[in-house]
Chains A and B, each alone.
Chain A
Amino acid sequence: MTARDEVLGRIRAANAAAGHPAPQEVPRDYHRAGAHPAGAPELLELFRDRLVDYKATVLEAPADDVAKAVRAALADATGRVVVPPGLPDGWWPDGLAATRVTDDGLSPADLDTAAAVLTGCAAACATTGTIALDGSPDQGRRAITLVPDVHVCVVRTDQVVQTVPEMLAALEPTRPITFVSGPSATSDIELERVEGVHGPRTLIVVLTG
């Protein structure tokens, strides 16, 4: 008998031995939908507050001038800034000291020498201060938002929902998804949170729209 058949057989025998417990109805009376529609001012206020609480930086930009806030975010960057192949027009600012490098399969070592990365996102959750990346053309491969030490992430206000259930519902699960809540952190030393280990130590969110 294969291990597969044996393990599945054991599961069936175990469920029988336990008297075939009936699958109970799952109560879903927790908050699935938020009290506010995506992008509502109350949610944006909450989202900012949560991001700052977990040591992210928040910059504001009007929908027609994302580049201005990105310029401020990358003002100190020197060397190369990685962008995904589908970076929307108008996000990259003029007059930066850093040069723009579009990802075409950069090696981990290449990415390690980059100063920063600039991307969009797929969805965001205000209650937890979370942004979700799903590998779409404006976000690129997972590696580019991981190895560089600074991540500048543009979030459209209409992407900000209130609850975790709403954020998950906005995503296509079979895409490679990364949920990001603030910069890299650890609680491994005396259970006190300190920011900055292996992931980007600086997270700058540009909120636009």
Chain B
Amino acid sequence: MRIALFLTCLGDALHPEVGRATVTLLERLGHEVVFPTDQTCCGQMHINTGYQREALPLVRHHVATFEPYDVIVAPSGSCVGCVRHQHAMVARGAHDERLAERADAVAGRTYELSELLVDVLGVEDVGAYYPHRVTYHPTCHSLRMLRVADKPLRLLRHVRGMTLLELPESDQCCGFGGTFALKNADTSTAMLADKMRNVLSTGAEVATAGDASCLMHIGGGLSRLRSGTRTVHLAEILAST
């Protein structure tokens, strides 16, 4: 299958290792990965902060960039959530019905990584080997916006050599929330503190998730604590052999 990689702006600029892992993983499974180099950003930060007007050109650009592809994958639950639930809304808010329809069509072909693997490619054992103690945080947008349910866990349970540790209160938000982390920094930090307490209580070496943004938040906190527990994206674990 020919799969277009939508890496997200954060992944491209700050976490290229997530993109490289996604490519490695999908190619190992026998698929062709293409990277449309015109891609920039889905506009999630703009939309969720209230800058719909500024988001409109980003939506238009994203739709035009990914329209030629039949299957699109992003290793980010929140960016897929934005494409799927917000792009058409922004277009309709600007009374551009044609763009809204095109956005809906692209959204219908866009999958979060675990959705692509389990639902589209029909694979749960990706042949990974990762000899570490790992705990999984099911990020809010994957859990409640995309309803990926236990798909990431089903993938992780097949990883050889790995000990999967259950995260207490796993469905609680880590406190990132995009610009929420800046606008309500104190509340965000309080939420992060509880998430880190739960992560550390598992004794895991690695906390993983399907979203680089939440991992940047949790990882930034764990690093500040010099806790020794690090964050690794789900794609990197699944790509490991």
Direct contact of A and B (CB under 8 A): no
